[in-house]
A and B are shown apart, each in its own frame.
Chain A
């Protein structure tokens, strides 16, 4: 039963709509709670700053306080928020002044809304139902609040923070004396409370609400609820001591005070950042009725007409005059539009206007530069895809060659995006088939995950990226593979890809081949790929003997789409820019048959479309040379009121475009007036039919909300500790939410949190820590207060003996601590749990129990006077959810025990089988694809149990569309703001996650993270307001050259014997881009290239000819390798013995641990032995390639020493042998390095002092600096020094190769310092 109202036969739609309304009210409460937590004020006034509306602290700077997540709303503020939330959806309010009762709203309408809502969400008897029809609004509000508390959306808490804004208390300061209300405002806060009090009075009186009645009705209702008399709530300190927090506010509170023990805080403080309100996404408001918005559709005359003229124009330009043919094409297109309309019955104004503008430009004979920027999920794909499909198809039907390339920024294309592309292409091809046109639109997907058809055996069929295709309401699996009879095939199947095909989709391809790859691409009408493949294609084309070979791939490309543009940064941006430049150059060459002569040649007949979710945010708070001070801002509303028809490109977008296209090429589009960009924040208002006035915008729609909390670690604690403590509190929060909110809606029982840790090694360490230690503290957080007695002996069995003693000691301390507190004076269980006396504060700070307490529990606990620990324990035992808490803790512990030391794949298997029902999982790029799929399926709820927390590297940043993620945790400020926005965007996507995105940013207490202690920096970072300074490759000759010189190394150095024609090609290319002014660097790009070329030739030839002096060192390595073999044998016999024990069933836990340890050691040694003893390294020894293996050996050695310490004396021999080997390898590396560096340095500088070289070696080797790239003089840096270490080449059989074997790559990954990304 997802919602109680369903019992009475309510439809799911009405229940969902009731929930949506409830969430609106919840949002209003949350926004005001954030304002109170942030600056002890509420959302009163907004000011339009152009890019958004900002809500600010009206009392600033006279009243300015530090953020405090323990603050909450008093009952008057809560009731105000709830009523205003209802008013917003019933009548709308002015977002510039939400507290203003204008525009009026009929009381009856508000009342009816509450009555309807109460019927659906509360457990009312028939008698109650009749009663609420005649209840006053004051009483209805009280009932609504209590219902929300019962469902776990709101919490009653005590006055934790003494400065908490408290209007209920402030009212008591005023007395009527001789016809004047007279009162003392002792502090400025009192004065502010007075101002707010009168504003609220005004607000309430407009709705016929009397404040005294409002308060007394609540007192009455809650006393009834608690089964207490009229003064029942006096046990809780009275209504002026009661505060309310939202369920999100509780997370903020507990993340801020996360700690495992009394007096040992893990967090110093936290900063509640301003909220960000965003309009709902089109996908939710497109369902609104005509009354709520104007509708636009694909078949609107204006759009269809523009398409028709576009088709005519294409025909006209290619001298096609048969009007029959042209109108036939138009008929097909209209048919396709009708088909697509079935799926997309209504377009947003944004989508519609883009399409009209783009097709109109086509009608005028122009190609366009379209920049589509709008939030994730707002329907960008439909815009560019429909335009692309129709234009490419029209050309094809007219017998012309035309191709589109859609480029994505990730190695593996996101499934959700592919699904949309396939869905639309499918619609197009079905129409073509139905009409018997005899033409298909061929779509080719190509990325690293494409099926390698050269390696595939026939009759092996696979799911095509888990994509599902719909046919007449039924869903089919999309499969592909090699069929014995038909070759490569894509088909739909019912259940599994082994069942017989339901339908073959000849128009779809998802393959890769090693030879003739580009010929494959030539067959596709639309290529969907990533920047790496594009880069490879561009390189292959640029140095092709004959450009014409690529006519069908590059020459006919008429549309290039760069989707998810904001993801390109640093190297990826450079790769994309270089690839595009090379492609546009060769495309122009093919068209002209000679060197392109103007910038316009590069983009003749080319539509260039960029699509992005976040390239517009940055300048929201910046105004020219200054920016808004964030200290007095409590929130943002992301809409634009001042919009002009002709919108100029936002600076961030302009920056991006001039980073991927040369300035003169951009100017070509600009001079033709075909740069199309619409401001989404304006378009939304148009869509909703809102006409803003200067001081009033009436809003009667839902919100989406983004919130963020910055958690600052305690200075002396490791920030890992802080993160893990926060995660423990978070697990309890998720668990309590699942428990309590499930009654409201089953969707809430799936809640899970996503945690991002950028470095995989850190992630793995943190994961191990949380499993080994912190999960056991999961128990402690509750246990040390509540259940110490219950779990003292039976849950520590896995812990090592010394740890066990330590914990029992700690537990006893807690018991003693509480007993002592109890004996010191009368203290209630309630006061202890909430930390309400000075002494009890220590208890209050380290437990998360209040998350699980219901109203009646609170009443019960407040009546229990604690005289001993046992009193306390017994009282807690009788709380409503304690049984569930106990079983949760047991389950978490069971999971932790299973997870420790278990192979991850096995653990996932076990989860799939359903033997565990709580989990914390990891997701990163090094997992196998199947493992990642299982984790994703668990997250989505396709498999059970849904994990409580998933910790990931950037792998879950994009393309994972899960509705039930309410929170994202980010550890450290590693990601760029645009990436962080993406991550935050994973949460709060749907009703299941309350339409609230919540970020917990846990800082490290070192380095750059300290910058974000400052509010201004943190706000700019989290909301992506930092004005980017993109380093455009076009502004740096050396950067652009990097992608050309590399090509020279690849193609010419590896074919030294042959004549390298690529050299001339590259020179021509450079001359052209130089002469057209594409590179805006003062340095001469051609001269730089020539300088580099001569150095490389000189250096490389000398280096190779002199052949590295490795010979005399071989002996060292030979003896090392012999030793390694012996050591491996030693461990092998140990393994055999352990294996034998296993088969005889003689093993205990320690034996299995030992085996796991020995396996790990053997693995490390084998990796090192394979690499070090290979003839390759010995012949072409590059010492840097040996360094990581030295690390591997060192790890093996320390693991062996560990075993030795644990009483395995027979390993002593192994230890000393390993140490010997390590010295040998070290010596080898050092000497090799010395000789190597010497020869390199002497070539480079021709005469450097050997002492200097010696110093350098010492620095590199002894400081353990890992310089991964081979030394070769690169290009010059900004001040004219020649770079070394610039290009990564490993010598392989005398040739330069840029490919690293997997083992080396893995070793590098492990050896690299933390927080350094090893880019591809």
Chain B
């Protein structure tokens, strides 16, 4: 975690240490990605007059760094968009976690209330002349749960990084994880996880 960026934190949090990171999580920036980012930016700018958007908006919090693909302001609210140009059927729940890390970091660093930040995931639509993207707004209920998770992630990350880590263990959010069941299990002391 020494050089952790947002994507890295998400990928590591979502996978137990012994699993190889899933290459799909690390999305290479490509022409396709840029094209989609441009489309999304334009889509938001076209929402109404006075909307301003930037791409690759840099965020950092407690040593954690990341870039939100598109961030727009309409005077009252902020719109943060995580753009995924991978084929849309490769969408994963982790994408929302990454997005929400940006939202959290934005809210903390800009001292903005979460209620005035709208979070979106954008995916490229399959090749078609009449549509280019899916844009999904992450609603309040979903946001609540996700923010709860990412705030814990950031906390534990920061405390590990600053050497002041005293908690029971890292929060590991995984779709597939082991639990320690035997007394001798070395993992048990670290994670405090009991079945």
Contact = CB atoms under 8 A, between A and B. Distances in A.
Say if A and B assemble together: yes
Nearest to A627: B181
A185 B126 contact: no
B176 A191 contact: no
B123 A198 contact: yes
Contacts of B184: 625
A180 B135 contact: yes
Nearest to B43: A180
Contact of B135 (A181, A192, A199, A1016): A181
Nearest to B47: A178
A188 interface: yes
A543 B106 CA distance: 86
B133 interface: yes
B139 A58 contact: no
A62 B99 CA distance: 14
B110 interface: no
Contacts of A181: 125, 131, 133-135
B61 interface: no
Interface stretch (B70-78, B83-91, B161-169): B83-91
A184 B120 CA distance: 9
B91 A1016 contact: no
A948 B173 CA distance: 47
A201 B89 contact: yes
A179 B138 CA distance: 20
A187 B131 contact: no
Interface in B114-155: 121-123, 125-126, 130-142, 145-146, 149
B96 A190 contact: no
B121 to A, nearest CB: 8
Contact of B182 (A47, A174, A625): A625
B28 interface: no
Contacts of B130: 176, 179
Residue from B40, B87, B178 having most chain A Cβ neighbours under 10 A: B178
A62 B145 CA distance: 8
Contact of A191 (B46, B136, B195): B136
A325 to B, nearest CB: 59
Contact of B131 (A179, A203, A627, A1014): A179
Interface residues of B, number: 48
A623 interface: yes
Interface in A746-803: none
A1022 to B, nearest CB: 16
Given A181-B134, A198-B123, A626 B178 contact: yes
Contacts of A632: 175-177
A59 B96 CA distance: 11
Given A62-B93, A198-B123, A626 B181 contact: yes
B93 A63 contact: yes
Nearest to A47: B176
A57 interface: yes
B140 A186 contact: yes
Interface string A188-209: 1011101100110111010000
B86 to A, nearest CB: 11
Contact of B146 (A54, A62, A198, A627): A62
A1242 B42 CA distance: 99
Given A176-B131, A625-B182, A625-B184, A184 B93 contact: no
Please tell me the size bucket of the interface on A: 35 or more
A893 to B, nearest CB: 47
Contact of B93 (A178, A195, A201): A195
Given A62-B149, A198-B134, A626 B91 contact: no
A54 B187 CA distance: 22
Given A195-B92, A629-B195, A190 B139 contact: yes
A176 B125 CA distance: 11
Contacts, number: 140
Given A176-B130, A180-B133, A198 B91 contact: yes
Contacts of B97: 62
A904 interface: no
Contacts of B180: 625-626
A1308 interface: no
B186 interface: yes
A1185 B185 CA distance: 50
A49 to B, nearest CB: 9
A194 B126 CA distance: 14
B96 A191 contact: yes
B179 interface: yes
Most buried by B among A59, A174, A184, A625: A625
A618 to B, nearest CB: 13
B137 A178 contact: no
A174 B123 CA distance: 13
A535 B190 CA distance: 51
A365 interface: no
B89 A198 contact: yes
B137 A201 contact: no
A178 B91 contact: no
B89 A183 contact: no
B99 to A, nearest CB: 10
Given A62-B145, A629-B177, A632-B176, A191 B135 contact: no
A585 B121 CA distance: 74
A195 B141 CA distance: 17
Given A61-B173, A188-B96, A625-B186, A202 B89 contact: yes
A1176 to B, nearest CB: 54
Contact of A629 (B137, B149, B178): B178
Contacts of B40: 180
A183 B195 contact: no
A56 interface: yes
A54 B176 CA distance: 10
A198 to B, nearest CB: 5
B139 A184 contact: yes
A616 to B, nearest CB: 20
Contacts of A205: 126
A626 B87 contact: no
B91 A195 contact: yes
A627 B175 contact: no
Contacts of B121: 191
Contact of A59 (B46, B136, B149, B175): B175
Contacts of A63: 93
A562 B165 CA distance: 56
Contacts of B187: 625-626
Nearest to B123: A198
Contacts of A182: 134-137
B2 to A, nearest CB: 26
A39 to B, nearest CB: 11
A263 interface: no
B142 A186 contact: yes
A628 interface: yes
A199 B135 CA distance: 16
B16 to A, nearest CB: 10
B139 A185 contact: yes
Contacts of A288: none
A840 to B, nearest CB: 29
A199 B96 contact: no
B178 A188 contact: no
Nearest to A58: B175
A175 to B, nearest CB: 11
23 contacts: A54-B176, A56-B176, A58-B92, A58-B93, A58-B175, A61-B173, A62-B93, A62-B173, A63-B93, A174-B134, A180-B132, A182-B137, A188-B141, A198-B134, A623-B178, A625-B185, A625-B186, A625-B187, A626-B179, A626-B181, A628-B177, A629-B178, A632-B177
Given A58-B93, A182-B137, A195-B91, 4 more contacts: A180-B40, A191-B96, A201-B126, A203-B89
Q: Which 3 A-B pairs have the closest CB atoms?
A: A186-B139, A202-B89, A625-B185
Interface of A: 47, 54, 56-63, 174, 176, 178-188, 190-192, 194-195, 198-199, 201-203, 205, 623, 625-629, 632, 1014, 1016
